[in-house]
Amino acid sequence: MGELSNIKFTTPEYDEIIPSTGETVKVKPFKVGDEKTLMIAAESKDQKQIINALRNVVNKCIVEDVNLAYFDYEYLFLKLRAKSVGEVSTIMATCDDTECGHKNKIDLDLESVKISEVEDIDPVIKLTDDVAIKMKHMPIDEAGKIDGTKDFITALSKSISQVINGDEVVNIDKSNEAELVKTISDWPTTITSKIKPWFDNIPRAYYDVEFTCGKCGNANSRKLEGLENFF
Ligand SMILES: [Zn+2]
């Protein structure tokens, strides 16, 4: 071991809340290498690469072993970023006035990020009189592989924990996942409107931004969602 690798930095640990469970966990800030991983992912603009970097970095910062939903990662990432890099992130926001379109430089206080309040909806969705499905939050490993807007069937299949057919309850796992995907292809399209409220109701990390345009004076307000806004 060289002398340099003997240098130890004490890393402060602090408490953070996991939104999906309300549990408190101990976390520690990003390190320089983590910040680099995140910047490379952000520059790639590739959703899968961003999600994978996010998962790896956030997992390293959580001292305990916990199970997290995707929105937990978003939220914890923004909180960790606030503590690690500084509490302010600068973004460029275009004025809402279409004739103006001026790009304003806005400072966001990352400590003010919130999780959207969602209804406590029943995870069991009745598709017909006999058939129902029980939903679960997609694990981040899966979220990193799927583009839900383009591949609804895969996104849905990864979000189902049980299929209930009359008295029969089928638990979905690796062994019958492929069969489920095939089955969903044959479901009537009318079921999508029954499932949509569940997907619409998944919590997201968000930030309310209000700013006065520096060029035309227009009062702008918008809700920023999605990590790409914060890199
Ligand atoms: Zn303007």
Q: What tens-digit pLDDT sequence spans the chain (231 residues)? A: 678 888 877 778 889 988 888 889 999 988 888 888 888 888 887 878 888 888 899 999 998 888 788 888 888 888 888 877 677 778 889 999 999 999 999 988 878 888 887 777 888 999 999 999 999 887 777 766 766 666 788 888 989 999 999 999 999 998 999 999 999 989 988 888 999 888 888 888 888 889 999 999 999 998 888 776 666
Q: How far is the CA of 66 from the centre of ligand 1 (A)?
A: 45
**C-alpha 207 to ligand 1 mean position (Å):** 21
What's the CA-to-centroid distance between 90 and ligand 1, angstroms? 18
Regarding whether 80 and 93 lie in a shared domain, the answer is yes
Same domain, 17 and 107: yes
Are residues 143 and 100 both part of a single domain?
Answer: no
Shared domain check, 150 and 77:
no
Q: Could you tell me if 174 and 214 lie in one domain?
A: no
Q: What does the alpha-carbon distance between residue 207 and residue 17 come to, in Å, rounded to a whole number?
A: 17
**Domains held by the chain: number:** 2
* Domain identity same for 17 and 111: yes
Give 168 Cα–ligand 1 centroid separation in angstroms. Answer: 59
Q: In terms of domains, do 26 and 90 share one?
A: yes
Q: Are residues 150 and 176 in contact, defined by beta-carbon separation less than 8 angstroms?
A: no
Contacting residues for 5 by C-beta, under 8 A, at least 6 apart: none
224 Cα–ligand 1 center, Å: 18
